[in-house]
């Protein structure tokens, strides 16, 4: 990286890596990612970068890994007995939606974006169906299991713990065949891809959470992020109609690249619940890793309320939802 101007990227809450942009005149911009927490193994990192390279080489719109001078996708450095895993990626072309103030391409319908969002994901899932890993990433139940939930969720939240364990039991009974279960991004949202606002092309990055899971998880995650487009609408029926149209567009793009069984699509409410479970677990992990006192702010309290009371669709069409304070509920003690 000699001659590159290297600048730190501001970390987001709960972020687990150090990242830097690398710019040099006449050369493509790069991103360096340095990982140092002991919650992931070399096998995990190797599995991630190999999967990214596989996707890129087979035509998926992802930021590819840059091979090191030693010919490796991943370098490990030890300093003062601390291990660091270092990867370099080509920087995705364009901007994030947030950087563009959530405005899409001038003169182009937002439905193009919804369709493209599904299409890019569908291409990745189709490729995953033919993927045989050299280094295997972890599978959903390797992390989300009874022992981990009992350890992570405090006993002062017994109903939450009970509902999470019930959800796991339901998931354990689901089919995990080749067409429904494989490598997924597990954090596919507008914070993890760039959009070229000249062409509408989406380029995906940040596969740090990728794992073997149901493909429906990524689709449910897209649904939960779509609520932002209509979250201030007072009329719940209008919110419901918008979300149907939005998700139909996403599915149109998705199904232009890969098939998904209708029986899995019917499980959208179940997988939205799984997304909520992941969000709750992530919040507790962040508090634990940062050494913070356990507390439920308004956003976490909202998610817990939805889980405990079996409120579907993240409460978006339920009386719990408030357009004045979207996805917030009264704080609760732990």
Residue 53 sits in a domain whose CATH number is: 3.30.200.20
- Can you tell me the distance from the alpha carbon of 19 to that of 192, in angstroms, rounded to the nearest whole number? 14
287 shares a domain with 162 = yes
pLDDT tens, residue by residue, 243-283:
999 999 999 999 999 999 999 999 999 999 999 999 999 99
169 shares a domain with 44 = no
Q: Which of 91, 123, 155 is the last residue of a domain?
A: 91
- Can you tell me the distance from the alpha carbon of 302 to that of 203, in angstroms, rounded to the nearest whole number? 32
102 shares a domain with 54 = no
177 shares a domain with 51 = no
Q: Quote the pTM value.
A: 0.96
79 shares a domain with 136 = no
- Can you tell me the distance from the alpha carbon of 215 to that of 213, in angstroms, rounded to the nearest whole number? 6
Main-chain phi, psi angles of 114, to 5 degrees: -60, -45
Tokens matching residue 10: 């501001």
pLDDT at position 123 is 98
Q: Which of 74, 91, 108 is the last residue of a domain?
A: 91
102 shares a domain with 80 = no
pLDDT > 80? residue 13? no
**Helix (H, G, I), strand (E, B), or coil: what is residue 271?**
helix
275 shares a domain with 166 = yes
49 shares a domain with 100 = no
pLDDT > 90? residue 172? yes
- Contact in structure between 148 and 178 (CB atoms under 8 Å): no
**Count of domains observed in the chain:** 2
- Domain of 8 in residue numbering reads as 1-91
287 shares a domain with 189 = yes
177 shares a domain with 81 = no
pLDDT > 90? residue 125? yes
Cβ neighbours of 59 (radius 10 Å): 10
pLDDT > 80? residue 39? yes
pLDDT tens, residue by residue, 199-252:
999 999 999 999 999 999 999 999 999 999 999 999 999 999 999 999 999 999
122 shares a domain with 19 = no
pLDDT tens, residue by residue, 40-72:
899 999 999 999 999 999 999 999 999 999 999
Percent of the chain with pLDDT over 70: 100
Q: Which of 68, 91, 114 is the last residue of a domain?
A: 91
């Amino acid at each position: 990286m000699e001659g590159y101007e290297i600048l730190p990227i501001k970390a987001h809450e709960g972020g687990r890596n150090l990242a830097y942009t690398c710019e040099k005149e006449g050369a493509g911009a790069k991103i360096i990612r340095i990982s140092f927490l002991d919650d992931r193994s070399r096998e995990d990192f190797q599995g991630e970068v190999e999967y990214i390279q596989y996707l890129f080489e087979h035509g998926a719109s992802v930021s590819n890994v840059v091979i090191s001078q030693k010919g490796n996708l991943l370098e490990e450095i030890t300093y003062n007995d601390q291990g660091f895993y270092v990867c370099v990626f080509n920087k995705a072309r364009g901007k994030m939606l947030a950087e563009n103030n959530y405005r899409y391409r001038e003169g182009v319908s937002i439905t193009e974006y919804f369709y493209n969002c599904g299409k890019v994901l569908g291409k990745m899932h189709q490729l995953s169906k033919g993927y045989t890993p050299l280094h295997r990433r972890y599978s959903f139940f390797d992390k989300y299991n009874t022992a981990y939930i009992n350890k992570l969720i405090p006993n002062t939240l017994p109903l939450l713990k009970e509902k999470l364990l019930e959800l796991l039991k339901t998931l354990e009974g689901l089919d995990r065949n080749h067409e429904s279960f494989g490598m997924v991004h597990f954090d596919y949202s507008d914070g993890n891809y760039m959009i070229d606002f000249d062409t509408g092309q989406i380029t995906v990055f940040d596969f740090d959470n990728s794992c073997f899971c149901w493909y429906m998880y990524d689709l449910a995650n897209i649904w939960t992020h779509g609520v932002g487009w209509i979250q201030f609408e007072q009329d719940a029926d209008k919110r419901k109609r918008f979300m149907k149209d939005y998700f139909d567009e996403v599915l149109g793009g998705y199904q232009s690249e890969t098939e998904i069984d209708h029986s899995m699509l019917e499980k959208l409410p179940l997988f939205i619940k799984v997304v909520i479970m992941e969000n709750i677990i992530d919040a507790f992990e962040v508090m634990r890793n940062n050494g913070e006192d356990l507390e439920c702010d308004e956003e976490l309290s909202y998610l817990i309320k939805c889980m405990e009371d079996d409120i579907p669709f993240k409460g978006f069409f339920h009386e719990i939802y408030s357009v004045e304070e979207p996805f917030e509920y009264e704080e609760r003690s732990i």
